Chains A and B, each alone.
Chain A
Amino acid sequence: QKEVEQNSGPLSVPEGAIASLNCTYSDRGSQSFFWYRQYSGKSPELIMSIYSNGDKEDGRFTAQLNKASQYVSLLIRDSQPSDSATYLCAVNQVPNSGYSTLTFGKGTMLLVSP
């Protein structure tokens, strides 16, 4: 069973701090990695995609990928109370049918206190 693992949290940070969210995956063949944000009672919303080793920055968000260590992370700089949500890590998988699907971690709950 190919797995995506995340700490469930909650991760509590004060407003203005850097929040660091981590994810590991088991399938060495995975090529694309995504972070989704999910507010309580809502559907997941894509916030970052990363495909190559290294860092990718988009505004206050930075995604980091290390394929050798099978590790993906998301940094949120200058955290705001509105960032309080569950963050889902997703990794593409190729089942026997040959078509790509996404496997999700269970998510890390982030709480940003004013």
Chain B
Amino acid sequence: SQTIHQWPATLVQPVGSPLSLECTVEGTSNPNLYWYRQAAGRGLQLLFYSVGIGQISSEVPQNLSASRPQDRQFILSSKKLLLSDSGFYLCAWKPESSYNSPLHFGNGTRLTVT
């Protein structure tokens, strides 16, 4: 069966520091991968999605970036964090070429920027 791992679970970082969140999926090949952010009291906002290695689409311009160095690895990064980057970051996946399939989420990373 497929599983998705996200780490770390929680993170407290000062403003201006870098960020790297990692997500991996097991048990499937060439999944579609997604990064969402959920700010306090707000809905899930799609940040990035990827349909293959090196293929990244950005939905919201900001100081975050994403990379997919391997088939089942998705990384969210920032060079300098802002206070507004605080939130609950969720990685999700769905099978390749499955237009109508739901997303399956990892356990999330709660980021607090101080």
* Residues of A participating in the B interface, judged by any CB pair closer than 8 Å: 31-32, 34, 41-46, 49, 51, 88, 90, 92, 95, 97, 99-107
Not counting A31-B99, A104-B43, a sample of 8 additional A-B residue pairs whose C-beta atoms are within 8 angstroms of each other reads: A32-B99, A43-B90, A44-B90, A46-B103, A101-B46, A103-B46, A106-B43, A107-B43
- How far does the Cβ of A31 sit from chain B's closest Cβ, in whole Å? 6
Contact A101 B100 (CB under 8 A): no
Smallest CB separation, B4 vs chain A (Å): 10
Contacting residues, chain A, for B87 (C-beta < 8 A): none
Given contacts A43-B90, A105-B43, A106-B43, A100 and B99 within 8 Å (CB-CB) = yes
Contacts of B106 in A (CB 8 A): 43
* B 14-39 contacts with A by CB, 8 A: 32, 34, 36
Binary flags per residue of B44-61, CB closer than 8 Å to A gives 1, else 0: 101001010000010100
Interface of A is mostly: loop
CB contacts (< 8 Å) of B110 on chain A: these are 41
- Tell me the number of A-to-B contacts counted with CB atoms below 8 Å: 54
Q: Which of B34, B43, B110 has the most CB of A within 10 A?
A: B43
Contact A49 B102 (CB under 8 A): yes
**How many residues on B have C-beta within 8 angstroms of the other chain's C-beta atoms?**
23
A43–B107 touching, CB < 8 Å: yes
Contact present for B32 and A104 (CB under 8 Å): no
Q: Nearest chain A CB to B39's CB is how many angstroms away?
A: 11
Cβ of A41 to closest chain B Cβ, rounded Å: 8
Least distance between B30 CB and chain A CB atoms (Å): 13
Is the Cβ of B90 less than 8 Å from the Cβ of A101? no
Which chain B residues (92-114) contact chain A, with CB distance < 8 Å?
99-108, 110
B32 cross-chain contacts in A, Cβ below 8 A: 99
